[in-house]
Amino acid sequence: MQGNLTALSITIFIILTVVLIGFLSGRDKKVRSSVEEWSVGGRRFGGLLVWFLVGADLYTAYTFLGLTSTAYTGGSLAFFAIPYSVLAFFISYFFLPKLWKVANHHKLTTLADYARERFDSKLLSILIAIVGVLMLIPYICLQLSGIQDTLQIAGTGFINVKVVVITSFLLVALYTFFSGIKGPTYTAIIKDVLVWAIMLFMVVSLPMIHFGGWTPMMDRIVKEAPQLLTIPTDGPKGIPWFITASLVSALALFMWAHAATGVFTAKSADSLRKNAMFLPLYNIVLILVIFLGFIAFLVLPKGTDPRFALLTLIQSSYGGVAQGLAYSTIALASLIPCSIMAIGASNLFANNIYRDWINPKVKPSRLTMITRGMVFVVIGLALLFGLVFPSALVSLQLLGVSGMVQIFPAIVISLFWKNQTREATIIGLLVGLATTFTVYGTGNSYGIYEGFWGLAANFLAIVVLNPLFVKKAKSNTNPVKEFLFNKKAKETSLAKKGA
């Protein structure tokens, strides 16, 4: 189907305007003065900015296009995104403030930093960094896929899509290199406002356009496609898969490097508690997006590629202006998360692979430049991977969730378990990863989400092996461990800092 020139023009105009704002947000040279300033904004962001930033982190183009596609093909299975995000925010209320306090006091900018200091282990830090970077590359690729699909629908017959996609991501890499976390933070406000406005507009207007309202639409779904409204009781993706996918995804959500980056920008632990209470509001949008998949199932021609379900629905339902606003919203939901993800991955590589492993004596100024420069490497690898292996991206991202959840015991459990040992944690992580990849590779998951098997093996290894090393762990202490579990030491440390 031919693209719409008006829609394409609006999409490109909004993207370029937002990229310009991203550059302008980094005018102050201070944003490039250190890794802490560039990657977490000096930890000065208030609750509202963190809300927009974490929302931009977690609700991406893949969320909208992927959920619509899942609803189009699998019906109510797509609703697993609702309990998983609610669970994730509920759990985060209890551990993110504590993690933030440790990171703020000890100037830590990544989860791997925390693991290194908590367990006195560069090996664990490097393992977590490697897992974080490798799992994040396919996720960044999916953002590329989102904007590529959007421009392909909007610009067919007018532009070379691959050239425009490469140009767009190069611009994002440049403004991320220049502005650090401030760029995606301020542009995230525009993206999130558009998401709310456009998604609400579509959910109100599309049922009116195609069915005359919500009630006739629901009646038609019940009559013509009742399978969309139920979860299978058995099979590879039945209720056990739904439950375990929700749980694993919830535990993994804040283990991603880009999510941790958003968390560490907060100026107080209270900001994170408030975010845990109000971020579930985004689920309103998620529920509505799933219903857009149902609408697409009913109105689009049979055989429509599920990957393009939402975009094709937009193209067939609206004129050029509405198309342009919708396309630009989805494009921004690709580009802005890509920027935050690139910061998270770059920070992991520079701090926890380069500094901890390759060059421990690197100067702070050089480390800052390496961290910023890695943005081009990360985005370049994502571009290359996405263009060469486009069909593997969704599978790899789902595997990424199963991989990222394996660091949960090393990060979250260790905040509350004083005698958790370094050795048991490292072995547990490796056992969890090996189990996950084995289950994924053999396809023998028995209707359970792959990451659940890995996490179960991970926990089991830690529980069984921890007693073998606990005597040594009790005798060893460090500032982070003292801060977490020694109330007097914590109070003294905070007093010295003037907190």
Residue ranges of domains in the chain, CATH in brackets = 5-392 (1.20.1730.10)
d(CA 57, CA 140): 11
Greater pLDDT, 105 or 149: 105
Q: Which amino acid is at 9?
A: S
d(CA 478, CA 321): 59
Helix, strand, coil fractions of the chain, as percent rounded to 5: 85, 0, 15
Per the rule left: phi > 0, alpha: psi between -120 and 50, beta: everything else, 302 is beta
* pLDDT single digits (tens) 344-397: 899 998 889 988 888 888 898 899 999 999 889 888 887 777 666 665 555 666
User: Does residue 489 carry a pLDDT above 70?
Assistant: no
Q: Which pLDDT belongs to residue 82?
A: 85
- Helix (H, G, I), strand (E, B), or coil: what is residue 237? coil
Strand partners, 320: none
- Determine the straight-line distance between the first and last CA of the chain, rounded to whole angstroms: 61
pLDDT band at 2 (very low <50, low <70, confident <90, very high): low
Greater pLDDT, 208 or 487: 208
Q: Which pLDDT belongs to residue 119?
A: 93
Residue 316 has φ and ψ, to the nearest 5°, of -85, -5
Q: Which pLDDT belongs to residue 392?
A: 53
* pLDDT single digits (tens) 200-217: 899 889 999 999 888 998
- Helix (H, G, I), strand (E, B), or coil: what is residue 266? strand
- CA–CA distances in Å: residue 410 to residues 111, 119, 416, 420: 9, 9, 11, 9
* pLDDT single digits (tens) 239-251: 888 889 889 999 9
Greater pLDDT, 489 or 239: 239
d(CA 314, CA 23): 30
pLDDT band at 499 (very low <50, low <70, confident <90, very high): very low
Round the average pLDDT of the chain to a whole number and report it. Answer: 85
Q: What's the token pair of residue 469?
A: 């090393």
* pLDDT single digits (tens) 463-475: 999 999 888 766 6
Residue 266 has φ and ψ, to the nearest 5°, of -65, 145
Q: Is residue 278 within 8 Å of residue 92, measured between CB atoms?
A: no
Q: What's the token pair of residue 382?
A: 């994502």
Q: Is residue 244 within 8 Å of residue 82, measured between CB atoms?
A: no
Residue with tokens 């007693």: 467
Q: Which pLDDT belongs to residue 474?
A: 67
Q: Is residue 349 within 8 Å of residue 129, measured between CB atoms?
A: yes
- CA–CA distances in Å: residue 363 to residues 205, 349, 356, 367: 56, 16, 13, 6
Q: Is residue 231 within 8 Å of residue 70, measured between CB atoms?
A: no
Residue with tokens 């009646």: 219
- What mean pLDDT is predicted for residues 18-24? 86
Q: Which amino acid is at 183?
A: G
Residue with tokens 């907060």: 266
User: Does residue 182 carry a pLDDT above 90?
Assistant: no
Choice among 1-5, 218-222, 409-413 with the minimum mean pLDDT: 1-5
* Highest mean pLDDT of the ranges 58-67, 88-97, 161-170, 443-452: 88-97
d(CA 212, CA 479): 64
Greater pLDDT, 201 or 3: 201
d(CA 392, CA 153): 21
User: Does residue 435 carry a pLDDT above 90?
Assistant: yes
pLDDT band at 305 (very low <50, low <70, confident <90, very high): confident
Nearest to 100 by CA among 319, 308, 275: 275
- What mean pLDDT is predicted for residues 72-99? 88
% of the chain surpassing 70 pLDDT: 92
pLDDT band at 78 (very low <50, low <70, confident <90, very high): confident
User: Does residue 231 carry a pLDDT above 90?
Assistant: no
